[in-house]
């Protein structure tokens, strides 16, 4: 059994103002996405300018924070927030939903793509490799908060979390940080270094994240206010991943059909994306 490093959830205090690690992780996540985005934009044929990345990240920040908070409220704990509406503003206490944040950033991406005259899927393909390191930061924030721990276990790396009883548990926050964070980043970053069919990169992200999340959820305790769903073995996180997995598979099939269709000609655009047009 490993000792849980009981880190103070408050990173820095300035009098009455306290900066929580959880909030700081969001700042680091956006900073990493911004830096990686500017790097990708600087590569030949990216079709992006650095100032476009700056503008997009601002839109994405609003979409992620608003969507993640509202998504958690709607998907996980609506009754509690009805009882205390001010808790909605206390984001440093946790309570952010990936799926809500995803919907928020997709809406922001759609609106921004219309403003810039870019194709929606092109924007998603550019952004997808920037996301996993942000997910890594978020899961580290969960770990520091001592929340979202796993089931009771006797594995050598199990930990006793504060507020979770005296028995050791799977550190599922670290599992997710490793799978949907570091591993997914390496896969997407490597895959997207070459031009890919439209929708392939974002489809791979959706499938990769869904599989990682569904797998780890079997080791993670469900949210206490909800418990297990649909026969007592599925969690809300797994249920929400199913439509995302389906959408990702559809995108990959669409991209593959373009690549394999002999009646279509491969055309690489100036922005580095690849489209397939019907031969005449």
Long-range pairs, 3-8, Cβ under 8 A, ≥24: 3/159, 4/146, 4/159, 4/160, 4/161, 4/162, 6/146, 6/162, 7/144
CB 61 within 8 A of CB 97: no
Residue 12 to residue 63: CA distance in whole angstroms: 26
Please tell me the distance from the alpha carbon of residue 99 to that of residue 88, in angstroms, as a whole number: 17
- Give the span between the Cα atoms of 45 and 34, in whole angstroms: 19
Provide the pLDDT for residue 244.
98
pLDDT for 14 equals 85
Q: Could you read off the pLDDT of 41-58 as tens digits, one per residue? A: 999 888 899 999 999 999
- pLDDT value of residue 277: 61
pLDDT of the residue at 263: 54
Give the pLDDT score at 80. 72
According to the model, what pLDDT value does residue 226 have?
82
pLDDT number for residue 261: 65
Task: Supply the pLDDT for residue 140.
Answer: 96
pLDDT of residue 224: 80
DSSP state of 1: -
State how far the Cα of 6 lies from the Cα of 73, in Å rounded to an integer: 28
pTM recorded for the entire structure: 0.88
Amino acid 169: pLDDT: 97
Give the residues of the chain that fall short of pLDDT 70: 91-94, 260-280
Annotate 157-224 with three-state secondary structure.
Answer: CCECCCCCCCCCECCHHHHHHHHHHHHHHHHHHHHCCCCCECCHHHHHHHHHHHHHHHHHHCCECCCC
**Per-residue pLDDT tens digits for 196-223:** 999 999 999 999 999 999 999 999 999 8
pLDDT of residue 264: 57
What pLDDT does 87 receive? 74
């Amino acid at each position: 059994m490993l000792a849980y490093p009981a880190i103070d959830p408050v990173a820095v205090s300035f009098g009455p103002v306290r900066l929580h690690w959880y909030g700081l992780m969001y700042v680091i996540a956006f900073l990493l996405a911004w830096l990686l985005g500017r790097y990708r934009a600087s590569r030949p044929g990216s079709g992006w300018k650095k100032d476009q990345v700056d503008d997009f990240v601002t839109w994405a920040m609003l979409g992620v924070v608003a969507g993640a908070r509202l998504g958690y409220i709607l998907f996980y704990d609506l009754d509690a927030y009805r009882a205390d509406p001010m808790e909605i503003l206390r984001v440093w206490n946790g309570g952010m939903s990936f799926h809500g944040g995803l919907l928020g950033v997709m809406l922001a991406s759609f609106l921004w793509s219309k403003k810039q005259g870019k194709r929606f899927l092109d924007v998603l393909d550019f952004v997808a490799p920037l996301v996993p390191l942000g997910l890594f930061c978020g899961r580290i924030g969960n770990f520091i908060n001592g929340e979202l721990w796993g089931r009771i276990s006797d594995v050598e790396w199990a930990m006793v979390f504060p507020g979770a009883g005296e028995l050791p548990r799977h550190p599922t926050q670290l599992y997710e940080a490793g799978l949907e964070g570091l591993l997914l980043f390496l896969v997407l970053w490597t895959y997207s270094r070459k031009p890919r069919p439209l929708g392939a990169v974002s489809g791979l992200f959706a499938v990769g994240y869904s599989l990682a999340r569904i797998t780890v959820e079997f080791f993670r305790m469900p949210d206490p206010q909800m418990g297990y769903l649909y026969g007592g073995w599925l969690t809300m996180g797994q249920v929400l991943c199913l439509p995302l997995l389906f959408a990702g598979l559809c995108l990959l099939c669409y991209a593959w059909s373009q690549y394999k269709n002999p009646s279509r000609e491969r055309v690489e655009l100036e922005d580095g994306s690849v489209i397939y047009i019907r031969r005449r």
